[in-house]
Amino acid sequence: MPDPDRIYRVNVEGTRQLMLAALEAGVQRVVYTSSVATLGLNRDGRPADETTPVTLADMVGHYKRSKFLAEAEVRRLVDEQALPAVIVNPSTPVGPRDIKPTPTGRLIADAAAGRMPAYVDTGLNIVHVDDVAAGHLLAFHRGRIGERYILGGDDLTLRDILEIVATLTGRRPPAVRLPHDLILPLACLVEGWTRLTGGKDPQLTVDGARMARKKMFFSSAKAESDLGYHHRPAREALADAVTWSLSREPPAR
């Protein structure tokens, strides 16, 4: 299981030290990769943007709190020490070469392999990882110091995502929707079992169950107008992710 102290040391203190080193070295431009995890969400489901109100208290779990504090540290150094930093906030990148994989990459791999029997009513902003990479270059060349830019794609419900994956793989999408009230106690059981058995990455986490109550929809309008950013349809991103994940599946016996 993740060590909270290590998460803060790496994400917050590590970020601060790296930015101070950049200042000392006289770096002329920094593109700091944050996350939409640091942004606010609209309760009515409308896409959030860079100005949607948010506080540390809104962050669910140590990872999101550490990312929020790390970005705040970058913004402080911009204001107080003229750190020449532009901040980008990728949404949910998917595509090829997701080696570990990320939680979303694992979800897509499980769905592609027919290991996703049910879903929960939530939503994500899906973007191709290559578009996020291109957005970083645009931020380097065109971004304004101290500004942040959402690098996102299309807003999709989890059901939409699973239906697209099912179509791409010739499978039936899951038809069972799990109620949110069932997800949280199930997550507690999964995390507890993972600890008992010495596992590292539970399939379902308490933080993930809490976040599933929210639709994480975002607008990239600012990046589009200021940077010239654009993204391909989410279906193309999911298709590349499915192709990659299936290429890594062990052969059927």
Residue 239 or residue 252, greater confidence? 239
Q: Which pLDDT band holds residue 6 (cuts at 50, 70, 90)?
A: very high
Domains assigned to the chain: 4-247 (3.40.50.720)
85-90 mean pLDDT: 98
Choose from 105-114, 140-149, 177-186 the range with maximum mean pLDDT. Answer: 140-149
- What is the spatial distance between Cα 23 and Cα 18, in angstroms, rounded to a whole number? 9
DSSP track, the chain: ---HHHHHIIIIIHHHHHHHHHHHHT-S-EEEE--GGGS---TT-PPB-TTS---GGG--HHHHHHHHHHHHHHHHHHHHH---EEEEEE-EEE-S---S--HHHHHHHHHHTT---EEES-EEEEEEHHHHHHHHHHHHHHPPTT-EEEE--EEEEHHHHHHHHHHHHT-PPP-EEEPHHHHHHHHHHHHHHHHHHT-SS-SS-HHHHHHTTSB--B--HHHHHHH------HHHHHHHHHHHHHHTSPPP-
The yes-or-no verdict on residue 131 having pLDDT over 80 is yes
pLDDT at 180: 66
65-76 mean pLDDT: 98
Q: Which pLDDT band holds residue 202 (cuts at 50, 70, 90)?
A: low
Candidates 218, 230, 49; CA nearest to 134 is 230
pLDDT at 24: 97
90-111 mean pLDDT: 93
